[in-house]
Chains A and B, each alone.
Chain A
Amino acid sequence: MKLSVAENWVEAPLKQFVDEARVQLAVLLNPSGQVLGQFGFASSVDVMTACALAAATTASSAELGRQVDGRPFSGLHYVGNARQIFLGQVPMGTSSLILLTVFDSESSLGLVQLFFQELCAAIAVIVPKEAPSGPALAEDFERELNRNLASMFGRS
């Protein structure tokens, strides 16, 4: 399994998370669905799909949280037959990133949550000042998405 990143500063914390939490898949993205780094995905199409779904799910659950609890839900855990999904928000300055990860019985929700907190702490320390704090503009979205996928999978 190969870890690849579009932004160099996410490589170390994402690698540590993957190594320690023993997850099968992980993708770090911004709220608009643009990928910053991934582990375990075989193709750029899979990453693109996962990012779109993760961004949409995060937006939906945040709004659901506002309706139900007056504030956005910030994490989601789903248990399947053999695999589980954890979706969490990584605070980054005034904005946040999204981590989508898939794990099986080699790991556990407790381990994933533990090392997710460490990932959040590591990113809070190393996030560069020039990192974009908001979503990409609509006219730049596809170009940025393709650039990030190309840098990770070697083609656009």
Chain B
Amino acid sequence: MAGEIGMSSPFTGLLQTLIRHRGVTGCMIVGEADGLIIDSSLQIGVNGDAFAALTASLYRKAQRAAHAAGFGETGFFELVAEGGRMCAAGRNDLVIVVVAAPRVNVGLLRVEMLQGLEAFV
């Protein structure tokens, strides 16, 4: 996997930028259709495979809900839970997934993620 030591992928720079945010515990590039990790940067203890599969599924459903409501494409998706946040943004069958603590600066994170999507064209 590209996330292993010594390997890099086209997403390495983006992941390094995202993981440096205060409160971010993991970030991944995930296939929207299959829910598998393409590249990731995760702190110890984050179950990346489970997060990737479940978040991709949620993202697909959010997309369908947005289309059904006539809202168009899903731009940015955020799940707020008691112990943390999960943010996702996608384009062209790829989804950026970020796992973070509740105190994370979501505004800044959102900007970085949406900028990162530009590389997915």
Contacts and interface: CB of A to CB of B under 8 A. Distances in A.
A124 interface: no
A113 B60 CA distance: 18
Interface stretch (A32-40, A51-59, A104-112, A127-135): A104-112
A107 B58 CA distance: 11
Does more than half of chain B's interface fall in helix, strand or loop, or is it mixed? helix
B34, B52, B54, B60 — most chain A CB neighbours (10 Å): B34
Nearest to B47: A114
B89 interface: no
Contacts of A109: 34-36
A109 B53 CA distance: 8
B58 to A, nearest CB: 11
A114 B33 contact: no
A108 B49 CA distance: 12
Interface residues of B, number: 14
A107 B57 CA distance: 7
Contacts of A114: 49-50, 53-54
A108, A109, A113 — most chain B CB neighbours (10 Å): A108
A107 B49 CA distance: 15
A105 B53 contact: no
Contacts of A108: 33-35, 53, 56-57, 60
Nearest to B33: A108
Contacts of B56: 108, 110
Nearest to A118: B50
A56 B84 CA distance: 46
A118 B47 CA distance: 13
Interface of A: 105, 107-111, 113-114
Given A107-B57, A110-B49, 20 more contacts: A108-B33, A108-B35, A108-B56, A108-B60, A109-B34, A109-B35, A109-B36, A110-B34, A110-B36, A110-B53, A110-B56, A110-B57, A111-B35, A111-B53, A111-B57, A113-B49, A113-B53, A114-B49, A114-B50, A114-B53
